[in-house]
Chains A and B, each alone.
Chain A
Amino acid sequence: MSFAQKIIKTCYTLEGSTRYKGLKGAVYNLLQNPRAPIRPYFDIFMILLVLLSVWLLIYEVKHDLGLWGDLIEVGAVTIFIIEYLLRFWLYNDSHKVIIERYERAEFINETFRLGPALSSAILGKLRYAIQPLAIIDLLAIIPSYRPLRFLRIFLLFRLFKLFRYTRSISEFVKVLSEKRIELVTLFIFMAFITFTAATAIFFFEAEHDEGQIDGFFDSVYWALVTMSTVGYGDITPQTTEGRVISLVLIIAGLGVISFFTSIIVSAFGEKIHEIRAHRVFSEVERKQVDTLVCGFGRVGQVVADRLSEDKRSFVVVDPLEENIRLAKQRGYLAVMGNGEDNSLLMSMGIETRIKRLLCLTGDDVVNVYITLIARQMNPDIEIISRANHRENVNKLHRAGASHCVAPYEVFGLIAAEYAGQPVAFEAVYGLLTRQTSEGIEAVRIKRDSSLAGKQMGEIDFLARKLIPFGIIRDGCCDPGIDNSCFNLNERCFYFNPGEKFTLQADDLLVLIGHEYSVIHLRDCLERGEL
């Protein structure tokens, strides 16, 4: 077996090994997976370790560390080195690169050459090594190697390592990196001015007898100090020409400073929404929010108020700034954006965490669209949609809505009822909207409840000021029972059960009555006093 064949065999073994993959997955969870529960603890541990090692560095300047200090330092560096190697290993799968090369060669019937395959695998790893954060990691460990002690100042790079572990700092870096072009332009401009001013001042002051500038380094130092408006005053121009250069440099310096400020400010101004949205995303993740409300119009507001009364957690998405402001005023989690935005729904976790989506915008087209994409992204999610026109109810169902609510249809129902039967209307309206104290409530009959097995006639509902309305039971309708019964989805509703009707465990007893009567009944059931 040739060397190349051995390597390929090893690669296939790795590819087939569940233990190897499990190990790599565990390391991924520890170092990179933002959703892994262990990540926050690891991050905090690393932050403390970095701070401790930097503190030791400062302490060491004036004091002797002793054995313990050395041990801690060695321990910290070991951990840093292991971390660096693990990240290096995690960055990509070298064996996959080789396998891919090998299979391609087999496919086109060419002899496989190990050299190019290995070099492309190594290139992949090198790509990791030149990343800014990887360089920082490396610089943070290199000075610990004794012969390189002169690089001690690089130990400060351990502070930069904090970038890895804190999200807000990495957001800051991201914002700045998006303004790269402006910052590079500014830097070139600044370098040009510094160089010109330094050359000019050197030219005039160095040859003058009273001049304080001895070398070119002095003049660059002076130019930067002047341009940044710091102006220590340790080097001051003595000649008229030198002073003229200072005047020009001060004006130019003001320009550079304000240019720099405006870049930073505008970068954050543009990004502030996104940064806020990211905050909300992580909040959504942390609080395990399972309900997403798209559209914070009138309907959305009513739903949100009720949900928050129930102490349920939810997050609001709306494209209008004023709606978002309103939502935030009421203390709800809210993100400005379109519900139609795929990536927004993704970052909310529609595929995993979100169990329920409410499409409540005033535009049926938008509702249908959101319903459709959400259903595609997650087949199990419960979607409740608003339909403003009755002909759209079918479309919403076809798009994948679990339930539809049509405000105008509900209005029509109620209004029509009112025109025909005003008294009955009041009763239904009250019961449905729970605006009166009477309402429809359901009580679950538990397995060990005293009600299970009892007949309806044995329970004196009227004495408890309740009207039995019906029973909801799992399973299909039993035609043997003489009551009117109706099929719901996988459940059956027995209306007005007779005296002989026997209750079973897990039945839902639907009652009409005062809220407190129902609470009292539940209470009695809990204590087994019925």
Chain B
Amino acid sequence: MARRDNLIFGCGALGHEVAMQLSERGIQVYLYSNNFDEVGGLLAKGLQAAVIDYTDDEKLLGIGIGNWVKTIFCLFSEEPKNLFLTLSARALDPNLKIVCVAESIESSERLLAAGATKVIDPYEISGQRVHEMIARPYLVEMLENTVFGKHIDIAEIEIPDSSVLAGMSLSDLELNKKYDLIVLGVVDLELGNQLIFTNSGVDHHLDAGDILVVIGCKQEIERLKQGVSADAGEP
């Protein structure tokens, strides 16, 4: 069996959608469900899917959970199934990233308690987006045409060991002048994995291994990536 890093459990509309989005980004996924009919439909659409009894820990180990699998998505439409799967998977691998769908605030709390890394409530987010469309129509239009419209991307760039960036301070980079990019913030591994926004007022000192989060056009991001990994020369 091929090794897959990302697994999706639940082959409903949501599982399908996430699988499509991931494969559009070039990330390979494998879908699992305990329902024969759903799997059949996905196979017909050219997605890789299989039937599995997710309640059986042996089967979960068999597909690589606890071993090489990095992220699983629990996207069953029934909350108890997601809860059960989260508990089983967390027991098998304490470092596994588990993303769950939640239907309400309470279910999101339960899932987090069961060990989910990230719980996303599609209804909450949609509701907020509808509200944003009403309250701040210009901004929504801008974001839809740029960030969601794929003109502008958000990327994280890790500073390699040999980079000239290591040792510089954030304000020295002047990325928004040298590149057409906006530096949103930086993650300093020494300080934890929280993003420190550029506007926090602290002029951050960059080290190798830190992660820059930037917004800009794809080409500019590519240019920066190359510049960062270059051993010498101007970043």
Contacts and interface: CB of A to CB of B under 8 A. Distances in A.
A binds B: yes
Interface of A: 291, 297-303, 305-307, 310, 312, 356, 358, 360, 384, 386, 388-390, 403, 405-424, 426-428, 432-434, 438, 440-442, 461-462, 465-470, 472, 483-484, 486-489, 491, 493, 495-496, 498-499, 508, 510, 512-514, 517
B229 interface: no
Across the A-B interface, give the 6 residue pairs with the lowest CB-CB distance, nearest first: A302-B127, A298-B123, A306-B131, A412-B21, A416-B21, A411-B122
A355 to B, nearest CB: 10
Given A390-B17, A510-B142, A299 B123 contact: yes
Contacts, number: 214
B152 A495 contact: yes
Nearest to A440: B139
Contact of A408 (B13, B148, B182): B13
A409 B118 CA distance: 17
Contact of A486 (B24, B124, B145, B200): B145
Q: How large is the interface on B (under 10, 10 to 19, 20 to 34, 35 or more residues)?
A: 35 or more
Point out which of A305, A389, A422 has the most chain B C-beta atoms below 10 A from its C-beta: A422
B184 A484 contact: no
A125 to B, nearest CB: 51
Contact of B14 (A305, A408, A417): A408
Nearest to B184: A427
Given A384-B134, A424-B213, A409 B124 contact: no
A312 B176 CA distance: 39
Interface of B: 6, 13-14, 17-18, 20-22, 24-25, 27, 71, 73, 97, 99, 101, 103-104, 118, 120-131, 133-136, 138-143, 145-149, 151-152, 154-156, 171, 176-177, 180-185, 187, 193, 195, 197-201, 211, 213, 215-217
A470 B216 CA distance: 11
Given A413-B148, A423-B156, A465 B133 contact: no
Contacts of B183: 467
B138 A424 contact: no
Given A302-B131, A423-B156, A491 B141 contact: yes
A496 B185 contact: no
B191 to A, nearest CB: 13
A420 B146 contact: no
Nearest to A402: B133
B71 to A, nearest CB: 5
Contact of A418 (B118, B155, B217): B118
Contacts of B213: 423-424, 427
